[in-house]
């Protein structure tokens, strides 16, 4: 029971915030964690020791310094940043999404994205006072191009998010449809954010089009994260786009948003990028191996093609299957309540061969 003082203090919190549900991370103690698209591979012991020495030598008593500039340069080289572009760092993609919404939070402004999609697009829009328009995908999770174009014409969004590939569907949408949507947003003066969180597992990247047609993509920002690269615990994302546009967004970034620990760990990982590339290749190979096994499993109604380190599937009863897997100590994501198009759908992370074997056995026993 709250006190009168607490009640008065709570009244100062925005009503829409008080009505929200917090983002909940499932408890995973004692479980095989296959719900968050994490890289299953740890650093080799020799690299762990080297990284520990470097982190231990950092001046933690000082604010972050010029190593941030070195990280931006290293990421630009790693990504093959096009000429005329700049790169901005964020504390994961989540912070970048929030900063983009903050920078564009003018009266009446709107954010638009296909749905189902990443929940932070809508959440960040709400928290910064922007409207959010979700345009449903088709029943098979393709872009509904005509609906997207109509929504862009009607709402003239300040920001249009295109997840490339999408979460939770793992879909890499048709390039022709995406290009026409990008062009339509540009024609009405909006910004397109191409969210490539799962780029290490996808067959193509929009950065190639940014490099080939810079004028046509002058309103496009490319967002990536090192979480799926293999550093989910480091919390580091980055945004690439035309220099003038990135400079304006960068004005709302907190001055020390990337710690010296984040920065040094990311620099170290980029120096050993081949280790992480080999891990991504193994995950892609495992994805191609398990998708046919899932499709052949009795009780699995549909499995969608994947261009990420996750697989979306539909079963007869997602809640029952999820609970059965959890009872068998395997944690996956029940996305069936996120959107009506996801009815009875589960999202599985693609892990190591051993993890995948345990996950498939738990799924088969739980269907």
- Strand pairing class (310-315; 345-349): antiparallel
Tens-level pLDDT at each residue, the chain (367 residues): 789 999 999 899 999 889 888 777 777 788 999 999 999 999 999 999 999 999 999 999 999 999 999 999 999 999 999 999 999 999 999 999 999 999 999 999 999 999 999 999 999 999 999 999 999 999 999 999 999 999 999 999 999 999 999 999 999 999 999 999 999 999 999 999 999 999 999 999 999 999 999 999 999 999 999 998 889 999 999 999 999 999 999 999 999 999 999 999 999 999 999 999 999 999 999 999 999 999 999 999 999 999 999 999 999 999 999 999 999 999 999 999 999 999 999 999 999 999 999 999 999 999 9
| The predicted structure's pLDDT at residue 29 | 84
> Mapping DSSP to helix (H, G, I), strand (E, B) and coil, where does residue 172 land?
coil
For residue 64, what are the contacts with CB-CB under 8 A and spacing of at least 6?
A: 256, 258, 259, 260, 263
CA–CA gap between residue 91 and residue 94 (Å, rounded): 7
| The predicted structure's pLDDT at residue 20 | 84
Closest CA to 268 of 55, 44, 2: 55
CA–CA gap between residue 154 and residue 143 (Å, rounded): 18
Closest CA to 88 of 271, 254, 269, 218: 254
Bridge partner residues of 362 (DSSP): none
Cα–chain center distance at 364: 28
For residue 168, what are the contacts with CB-CB under 8 A and spacing of at least 6?
A: 116, 310, 312, 333, 335, 338, 342, 345, 347
Bridge partner residues of 192 (DSSP): 160, 220
CA–CA gap between residue 1 and residue 17 (Å, rounded): 20
The three-state (H, E, C) secondary structure of 199-231, written as one string:
HHHCCCCCHHHHHHCCCCCCCEEEEEECHHHHH
CA–CA gap between residue 263 and residue 103 (Å, rounded): 24
The token pair at 308 is 């990420």
The token pair at 104 is 């564009």
231-275 pLDDT tens trace: 999 999 999 999 999 999 999 999 999 999 999 999 999 999 999
Asked whether 228 and 309 are in contact (CB, 8 A), the reply is: yes
DSSP 8-state class, residue 114 = E
The token pair at 3 is 């006190």
Phi first, then psi, for residue 195 (nearest 5°) are -90, 105
Angle at 113 between CA 109 and CA 117, to 5 degrees: 135
Phi and psi based region of residue 189 (left: phi greater than 0; alpha: psi -120 to 50; beta: remaining): left
CA–CA gap between residue 207 and residue 237 (Å, rounded): 16
For residue 229, what are the contacts with CB-CB under 8 A and spacing of at least 6?
A: 39, 200, 269, 276, 280
User: Around Cβ 32, how many Cβ atoms within 10 Å?
Assistant: 21
DSSP 8-state class, residue 300 = E
Closest CA to 185 of 214, 156, 146: 156
CA–CA gap between residue 336 and residue 311 (Å, rounded): 14
Domains of the chain in start order, with CATH, are: 12-41+274-366 (3.90.1150.10), 63-271 (3.40.640.10)
């Amino acid at each position: 029971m709250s006190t009168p003082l607490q009640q008065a203090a709570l009244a100062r919190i925005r009503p829409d915030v008080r009505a929200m549900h917090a983002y909940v991370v499932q408890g995973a103690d004692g479980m095989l964690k296959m719900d968050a698209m994490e890289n299953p591979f740890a650093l080799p012991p020799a690299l762990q020791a080297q990284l520990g020495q470097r982190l231990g030598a950092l001046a933690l008593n000082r604010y972050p310094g010029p190593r941030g500039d070195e990280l931006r340069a290293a990421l630009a080289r790693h990504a093959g940043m096009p000429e005329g572009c700049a790169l901005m760092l964020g504390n994961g993609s989540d912070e970048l999404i929030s900063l983009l919404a903050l920078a564009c939070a003018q009266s009446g402004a709107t954010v638009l994205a296909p749905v189902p999609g990443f929940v932070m697009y809508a959440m960040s829009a709400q928290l910064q006072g922007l409207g959010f328009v979700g345009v449903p995908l088709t029943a098979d999770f393709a872009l509904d191009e005509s609906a997207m174009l109509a929504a862009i014409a009607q709402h003239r969004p300040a920001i249009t998010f295109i997840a490339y590939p999408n979460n939770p569907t793992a879909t890499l949408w048709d390039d022709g449809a995406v290009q026409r949507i990008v062009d339509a947003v540009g024609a009405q003066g909006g910004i397109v954010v191409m969210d490539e969180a799962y780029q290490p597992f996808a067959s193509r990247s929009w950065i190639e089009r940014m490099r080939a047609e810079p004028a046509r993509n002058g309103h496009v920002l490319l967002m990536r994260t090192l979480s799926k690269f293999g550093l989910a615990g480091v919390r580091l994302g980055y945004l690439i786009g035309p220099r003038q546009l990135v400079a304006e967004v960068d004005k709302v970034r907190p001055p020390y948003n990337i710690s010296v620990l984040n920065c040094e760990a990311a620099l170290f990982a980029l120096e050993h990028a081949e280790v992480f590339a080999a891990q991504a290749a193994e995950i892609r190979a495992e994805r191609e191996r398990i998708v046919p096994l899932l499709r052949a499993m009795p009780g699995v109604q549909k499995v969608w093609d994947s261009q990420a380190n996750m697989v979306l599937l539909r079963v007869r009863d997602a809640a029952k299957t999820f609970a059965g897997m959890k009872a068998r100590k395997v944690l996956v994501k029940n996305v069936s309540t996120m959107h009506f198009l996801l009815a009875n759908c589960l999202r599985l992370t693609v892990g190591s061969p051993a993890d995948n074997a345990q996950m498939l056995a738990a799924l088969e026993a739980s269907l």
